[in-house]
Structure 1
Amino acid sequence: MSGRPEILFPLFADIKKLEGVGPKTAQNLEQIDVRKPRDLLFLLPYSCIDRAVRLSVSEAELPGVVTVQVLVGTHRPPRNRGGAYRISVQDTSTSFQVVFFHARGDYLKKILPEGSRRVVSGKAELFDGVAQMVHPEYVVAPDEADEIPEVEPVYPLTHGVTQKTMVKAVRSVLERTPDLAEWIDRSQMQQAKWPAWREAMEMVHFPQSVPEVSPNSPARERLAYDEFLAHQITLALARSQLQRAKGIVSEHTGVLQAKVRDALPFAPTNAQEKAIAAIAGDMVLPTRMNRLLQGDVGSGKTLVAIMALLGAVEAGGQGVMMAPTEILARQHLEGLQPLAESAGVVLEILSGRDKGKVRRAKLEALARGEIHILVGTHAVFQDDVNFADLRLAIIDEQHRFGVRQRLELGKKGEGADVLVMTATPIPRSLALAQYGDMDVSILDEKPPGRQPITTALVSTARMAEVVGHLRKAVAEGKQAYWVCPLVEESERVDYTAADARFKALRAELGEGVVGLVHGQMPPDEKDAAMAAFQAGQTQVLVATTVIEVGVNVPNATIMVIERAEVFGLAQLHQLRGRVGRGTEASTCLLMYQAPLNESGEKRLKVLRESEDGFVIAETDLQMRGAGDLIGTAQSGLPRFRVADVETQASLMAVAQSDARKLLHDDPTLQSARGKAARVLLWLMEQDQAIRLISVG
């Protein structure tokens, strides 16, 4: 696997060798990410122009492009400089005008001599009932009419690059494009009626009919599948790398888990039981676990996590639980502590705050195996942190972690099993793109005793009413969150909005009732404000979205979100999940500023009607697209040039099972199809995968 296969050299050669591409054009093409011939192949036309010859302009839908044979009539030069030069022409059933601006008369008489027949092709529109064609793109003699493509592709362009340049350059790439051995499973090809790779490239770049340009044409679908397949082979290689990594067999005895079960107020849900069993099954295997636990807000991930951690302890080892922030790590500590106590195991937290003696004492206890379960931030990855026998690492809120980090993580505990938890319900298509290397468990039922949340939409015009409602609730001893929007993503402005609301509510509800948390506060003030609210010393917490992830105050039953229309759906769903954690019925008020635009209204209604994070995530994906949903920069999502993750999710699923099967049957890609798949990885520039094969 040492270097790029020779058959692909022409596609990775100097782009300036292509017809019509000089140094200037090459520079301009870089603006649209085209740096080598291969990139041009994957820059597909986004539509096409139908230039089939018609009998008459009167048959065409105007305004539109028409190609028609005409008899050239009189030339009428412009009366003043820069005016329109008009030529009357006649087709089989009607006469119309061909119009030019700033053109030389002698040149026009040469290409459109009076009394001759010509085929003209260009955009025609009606003016005062007469058709006009301004600056036709083609003017040819009838015997040269086959120079005009019947279907002309339209490419995305950039400054200084014309359609004609693109067509020429692409034709020049296709001439050097080799036939490649087939990497798609034969039965899949037959069933889907897909063309071979090179043929598919020719069909999409030089379509014979308009439907060939549509995203679900067989040729396009095949090229989309190639991208998905290369991506899924990469993930499957990463997965087999993790699985080949020797794991440690951790046999659960169930002794400690039984103590926790006895202490629970009610039985785990079916989904929890299934996840607990799947994890135990993985941990017993000699290979490493690499599982994603996906659960909506309040679906009970903590219980599944403690059961897995206790399994590691039962087997004589240790477990670690990592969260992205200090606040979340403390919260996990609070959630896990009572359960760990009922099982009689030692649970500790290690954070950036631990300094000097305290830190040293914890590290020594950890290395001696006296701490069974450690909770912490990424600080647990530092060099001086050593476990006596680490069996399980749980990572929370993983979408900030890519495949690469998952591979890194494994190096800390040689052979430790890995469980990733996310509270962000991810639509299936994205889960496949992002976590295709993992096995997935989904918690899709709410634990018993969880109260439904009533969600209502209220216009900001009714602010006084909302504050009155809040005053009454506070008098009854209830607690509430009041979330202010981040204005224009600027921390300073965000602070002023929250500060103003804090002062207004304090004036209405009284001193000492209202607390404030925002991004600009020093960490200890933030923690103090959170702690006061958690302890019930303040009853209303005004906050920016810092509380989005994971804060747990069971007594809080009201969530007011101001300017809800500026938040994303997933974010609103996460915020709403901060209430409804106790035994009381809860309310979430989405305050919006009228008038709402259509998408704002649609988002808020979806929330009002559904508490299912997966339904909400699917809607969010349809409305915003994959990049926005998880922030393209940190999403770890590949950039596909042909494929569309949203509309072609089912293709992605086929690619995943195909990639896993291919690697299961041929782990080192040595078979004929395996070798073809290697060429595909090089073609798609999946260098990470290529390194994994060579390592493997």
Structure 2
Amino acid sequence: MLKRDIQFLKGVGPQRAKLFKKLGVETVEDLLFFIPRDLQRITNANSLTNLQDKEKVSLEGQIVETPFLKKVRNNLSFINTTISTGNGRVKIVIFNRPYLLNKLKVNSFVAIEGVYNNQYKQITVSDLKFPSSKSVAINEKTPESKYVPVYNSTEELSQKIIRQTIFAALTTIKNIDDSLPEEFRLRFGLHSLSESIRGIHLPVSEQHWHKCKNRFIFEELTVFQTAMLYSKQLAHNEIGIQQYIDNRTVEGFINNLKFSLTDDQKKVIGDILRDMGSQRSMNRLVQGDVGSGKTIVATVALLVAALSGGQGVLLAPTEILAEQHYKNLYPIFKEHKIEVVILTSSTKDKEKIYMKIQGGESQVVIGTHAVLQQNVEYKNLSLIVTDEQHRFGVKQRAALRAKGKHPDVLVMSATPIPRTLSQVLYGDLDVSMIKQMPMGRKPILTYSVSPQSREKVYEFIIKELKQGKQGYIICPLIEESEKVTGESAITYHSNVSKIFDKYKVGLLHGQMKQEEKDQAMLKFKEGYFNMLVSTTVVEVGVDVPNATVIVIENAEKFGLAQLHQLRGRVGRSSLQSYCILICHSNSETAKKRMGIMTSTTDGFRISEEDLKLRGPGEFFGIRQHGLPEFKYFNLLNDLSQVSKGKEAAEFLISKLQDERYAHIFSKISDFYHNYLN
């Protein structure tokens, strides 16, 4: 019955089934698991007079007054009209959608969602659709309730049609096999699947609805976390490459460095060497703040792999970072008679390099995604190091691991992630942290100023340039925009080139070709450009020790974690460095955020504050962490579930041999093979 096509449900038919298909709903099972995105109190004729201020409402009705448009200023307009729900009327207001005026006709039907404003006795509309009169006037009713579920919908499928179709499906299904045994549900306070499906679609109270919805969220999260934990345990149990640790050579290498390692670096190197010296495969994340010295830790691991007779790969996200690693590591490995090659999309004589890698002559390979290509074969791949984890998902790591026989994997990330979030992102990895900064590094002095102080900022930059130092200016936009306010890199570059007319000013932004971007960054790195005006495309991890000042325009438009990453472009040497945040907002939120940036350079503390202020969705921005597309679990809203989900995952792993858990382990297995393996 669950696999039955929904076109055979009462009131659906072939045409309406096509509309449901657009929402990803084709079977009765799809329909029952089509979970509402929100819950609203039903607003009917009797309750229109009882609406509370700021109450969410959902209505379907008919326009009974001619709508009129009023323009207040260039970027603010609104449409006013009145709708009838059959036995009552209410005013509605629609802001900044003047194009709807031609569609809003007297006697036309609308389905609205919004918030009631008691002062003006009207509903401020957040969502509006135009269902047919037939869909609004359907007589068949669902059970009476004070609450109504709100689904993702289309103009052709009103909320009412979706609710009535789901009700029709519910009447045909009595019980659904539950993937979670009763023992598990009682332990973690979850409803049965049958009760959760009925309660999510036919809510009896707000509290019960949220508990039913939580069942779906928690199960999905638990499947994910159990699969990650299982993957981690498999890696621990996997017979890998037991690498020979030449302690004398490693100690000699460390002692010959021109700087002293921090205690954190020594501890992490110890973790890595224990992993590499054991029979199990290493699967470790090294999480360190900007400039904390992760690269030297990875260098020790690559040295050990090469001295053990294996091959090590250092995978960088961009060509310029790969070139930087190659330039820095080549002389180090040459002293130990270890051959290093670089392999990127622009590398010449690729066939010659392929032969050296396949024959084992090249013991260390540094490159971009080019090292993942099918025609790159390794003689004895024993170590994989990925730089900047957020650019490489789980599947990309798996593709590289497949090129060897259970090689050790070391992942490096300069993005401090709060502990709770880390449990979701890195559940399949052991985690080591580097919090201490290298000796001799001076804390970056950070200041927040208003745009009125820009002239003084320029005077300070010129003072630094006169001493032979370099600087960045970061803008939020590439070009000027009518829709978004903020400084644009192209206009800014034109203006400051006149102000800094005695110096060379470069430009870097995302619309430039990759070759142009690399050239701009290389010219700045080599000192040809004194200043670089850039958007946030400026490379994370690119080392320009001579850069001592970074100015960030419209600092209020960036997240704290992003501001901290940008600040890390300076302070790469013993020179005193400065970060100047030009903030265009006087809001309390902006003041609080700038206060955090000026009071600490601790990336882990900043990431925690950023998560509190903006939530995980904005915290990550457009970065890809290789997470699957969750159907129910939402990083923004459901992060509080993670610790409990981890506990559930550990409990499930202990039940691997229990037949009562076969159903849920089938789901976990499917997820593991489709996503992690």
The TM-score normalised by the length of structure 1 is 0.75
1:348, 1:14 → 2: CA distance? 57
Q: SS of the counterpart of 2:416?
A: coil
1:554 aligns with 2:551: no
Q: 2:446 & 2:170 partners in 1: Cα distance?
A: 57
- 1:312 aligned partner: 305
Which of 196, 200, 204 lines up with 1:200 in the alignment? 196
Q: Secondary structure at the match of 2:273?
A: helix
One-letter amino acid of the counterpart of residue 659, structure 1: A
Q: Aligned residue for 1:541?
A: 532
Alignment of 1:330-349 (within 5 A): 330-337=323-330, 339-340=332-333, 345-349=338-342
Correspondence for 1:689: 672
1:250 paired to 2:209: no
Q: Which residue of structure 1 lines up, in the alignment, with residue 643 of structure 2?
A: 653
Matches within 5 A, 1:108-507: 148-175=144-171, 176=173, 178-181=175-178, 183=180, 186=183, 189-214=185-210, 218-239=211-232, 246-337=239-330, 339-340=332-333, 345-356=338-349, 359-487=350-478, 497-507=488-498
CA distance in 2, matches of 1:277, 1:47: 52
Instruction: Work out the CA distance in 2 between the residues paired with 1:161 and 1:360.
Output: 57
Say if 1:28 and 1:626 are closer, same or farther in 2 by CA, change over 3 A.
farther
Distance apart, 1:182 and its partner CA: 5.0
Change (3 A) 1:631 1:483: closer
Q: Which has the larger radius of gyration?
A: 1
Q: Distance in 2 between matches of 1:194 and 1:688?
A: 22
Whole-Å separation in 1 of the counterparts to 2:263 and 2:585: 44
**Equivalent-residue separation in structure 1 for 2:592 and 2:478 (angstroms):** 22
Once the two structures are TM-superposed, the CA of residue 322 in structure 1 deviates from its matched residue by 0.9
Cα deviation for residue 179 of structure 1 reads: 3.6
Query: Could you tell me which of 600, 612, 626 is aligned with 2:602?
Result: 612
Query: Per-residue deviation at 1:347?
Result: 3.2
* SS of 1:487 mapped into structure 2: coil
Q: Which residue type is aligned with residue 646 of structure 2?
A: Q
Over residues 156-206 of structure 1, what are the superposed CA-to-partner deviations in whole Å (9 max), with x where a residue is unaligned? Answer: 5432434443333333333426343453683x6434432222223333333
- Report if the CA contact (8 A) 2:39-2:147 is conserved: no
Amino acid of the structure 1 residue aligned with 2:363: H
Identity %: 36
- Residues 1:479 and 1:147: Cα distance change in structure 2 (over 3 Å): closer
Q: CA deviation at 1:326?
A: 0.8
1:449 Cα offset (Å):
2.3
| Equivalent residue for 2:628, pick from 619, 638, 659 | 638
Structure 1 CA distance for aligned equivalents of residues 83 and 638 of structure 2: 50
| 1:206 to 1:317, Cα distance in 2 relative to 1, 3 A | same
Shift of the 248–567 alpha-carbon distance from structure 1 to 2, 3 Å rule, reads: same
Q: Tell me the distance in 2 between the aligned counterparts of 1:254 and 1:479.
A: 41
CA deviation map 1:270-290 (0-9, x unaligned): 332332222223223333322
Amino acid of the structure 1 residue aligned with 2:672:
A
Alpha-carbon distance between aligned partners in 2 of 1:400 and 1:375, rounded to the nearest angstrom: 16
8 Å Cα contact 1:52-1:150 kept in structure 2: no
- Write the distance in 1 (CA, Å) between the matches of 2:156 and 2:604: 45
Whether contact under 8 Å (2:560, 2:607) holds in the other structure is: yes
Counterpart CA distance in 1 for 2:641 and 2:270 is: 30
Q: What's the CA shift string for 1:642-687, capped at 9, x where partnerless?
A: 3332443342233235435534652xxx632431214545xxxx85
Gaps of 5+ in 1: 1-9, 67-77, 79-83, 87-96, 102-122, 130-137, 139-144
What letter corresponds to residue 193 of structure 1 in structure 2?
G
What is aligned with 1:671?
A: 658
Shift of 1:621: 3.9
Q: How many residues align?
A: 607
How far apart are 1:533 and its partner, in Å? Answer: 3.3
Does residue 1:15 correspond to 2:15, yes or no?
no
The aligned counterpart of 2:500 is: 509
Answer whether contact 2:401 2:407 (CA < 8 A) is retained: yes
The verdict on how the C-alpha distance between 1:663 and 1:589 changes in structure 2, with shifts beyond 3 A counting, is same
Query: What's the offset of the Cα at 1:365?
Result: 4.0
Alignment check: 8 A CA contact 2:220 2:632 kept? yes
Residue 574 of structure 2 is matched in structure 1 by 583
Residues 12, 233 of structure 1: alpha-carbon distance in 2 compared, 3 angstrom cutoff: farther
Q: Deviations over 1:434-480 (max 9, x none)?
A: 33222222223323322211222223333322211111122223221
Aligned partners of 2:152 and 2:401: how far apart in 1? 43
CA distance in 1, matches of 2:674, 2:52: 55
Distance 1:303 1:489, change over 3 A: farther
Task: Please give the alpha-carbon distance, in whole angstroms, between the structure 1 residues aligned to 2:12 and 2:496.
Answer: 65
Instruction: Note the alpha carbon deviations across 1:587-616, whole angstroms, 9 max, x for none.
Output: 111224x34566555544443333232333
Query: Which residue is 1:94 aligned to?
Result: none
